[in-house]
A and B are shown apart, each in its own frame.
Chain A
């Protein structure tokens, strides 16, 4: 057994890596040849002078706001839907509903955001609405599962004590269970928001609005200068959301 883990697993991993390169037939020589590198450099140099004209910046500002709105509203919807689905998924309403809601959560989660977005563009037309719905659906699956796990791990005693003094189910949940649950809920939701701001900025590739759509267009039209500004904006937005959510986590989740 020792030999197995010491030799066999690393050997298998190495073989897998070699097989992967062999299968893809990566033309490293062509890529790294003077010609290939020169082409890459040419292409990359287009990005070195971002287009900072006011008109373009205004368009980017609008796109960035749209992306932010998509990610925030999508995450919020997902948190609500996820909580609604997490209650049955944690077994609060019997076995049958538990199995059904788990299946639904897994299905929502298993399909990537971009596939949801492509489907939603078909169902709801081009534009940020499709992106928001796509984010909400996938994230509801992710958050629902995490929420259900958190709910199962929450001590039941405070809620039960309130039930024993005659309180209704909803009130007992809000006063007994939710106060212990919600830091975890907030942490999960913030973490998904950080993720969704990245996703929201690329959903536009399939036509679902936001900065992604601008980037896709500029790259299709070989406007590297414009594309470079969009990428910079994405970078700034991701960093801003990361630090905002880090601050919110510090403020409400810890301590």
Chain B
């Protein structure tokens, strides 16, 4: 069962030098308003490593992951992903690099009326030719591949359902299935299990970790639940106020550090989930 995915991943162009999967030095980023979100971040992660990013809300976890996904451009510092500096590349080369990076969103931005199978197959659009992409829109071509990715998350029966018929947790798993189907070398996950119950969350994190181990992919996940991070990831990075507070193997993380990380956290709720992608339909009268 692992052969098609593994063979597929081996086909891709890989960086020739075996360097780290990602390297950040002195990276800083400011929000549009000018207040700094990340300051002086230095981080190096080797290919195949699995890292959890934890910290209070508003610490900069999402900003960090968006920088790594090349969704944001750093204001200062050096950023190197899979052996390349994305912002020195041409736009076309950057798109090729992006096919090797998979980002799992906290609330996956999936069109509500799109069917699950199409949403999953969209993971490999960067590798498909345009005619193939368009044909697959009318008649899904790789049904087996999509069913397999969904099957690993226990969603195979939702293959032909529409995304707006799924619950928040199921949608998150569809987002993960899209990433599984994309089979990237660098997996970035932003609160990937926030809408799931504890049992399902643990199961899903297990799937993500096994996937990363099986393909020797690098996995970085931001998590709100500290216990899940300690349980599933060998390395923990603690982020607070836009800085890295600690970065060590899980075994070395003590309760004092965790207490310091979450000290005086304002009891604000998690940011409200993004508004649903349902548009009011507007029919003119004239």
Contact = CB atoms under 8 A, between A and B. Distances in A.
Direct chain A–B contact by Cβ atoms under 8 Å = yes
A176 B118 CA distance: 10
SS of A interface (majority): helix
Interface in A129-165: 146, 153-155, 157-158, 160-165
A175 B122 contact: yes
Given A164-B103, A168-B95, A175-B133, A187 B182 contact: no
Contacts, number: 104
B169 interface: no
Contacts of A154: 279
A168 B279 contact: no
A180 interface: yes
Which residue of B96, B130, B184 has the most chain A CB atoms within 10 A of its CB atom? B130
A254 B281 contact: yes
SS of B interface (majority): loop
A166 interface: yes
Interface residues of A, number: 32
A180 B279 contact: yes
Contacts of A153: 279
Contacts of B184: 165
A167 B284 CA distance: 34
Q: Chain B, interface size: which category?
A: 35 or more
Interface string B89-118: 000000111111111010011111110001
A184 interface: yes
Contacts of A60: none
Contacts of A184: 279, 281-282
Q: What 7 A-B pairs have minimum CB-CB distances, sorted nearest first?
A: A166-B126, A166-B99, A167-B125, A157-B109, A179-B111, A166-B98, A171-B133
Interface of A: 146, 153-155, 157-158, 160-168, 170-172, 174-177, 179-180, 183-184, 187-188, 191, 249, 253-254
12 contacts: A158-B109, A158-B277, A162-B125, A166-B127, A167-B122, A171-B130, A174-B133, A179-B113, A179-B114, A183-B281, A188-B284, A253-B281
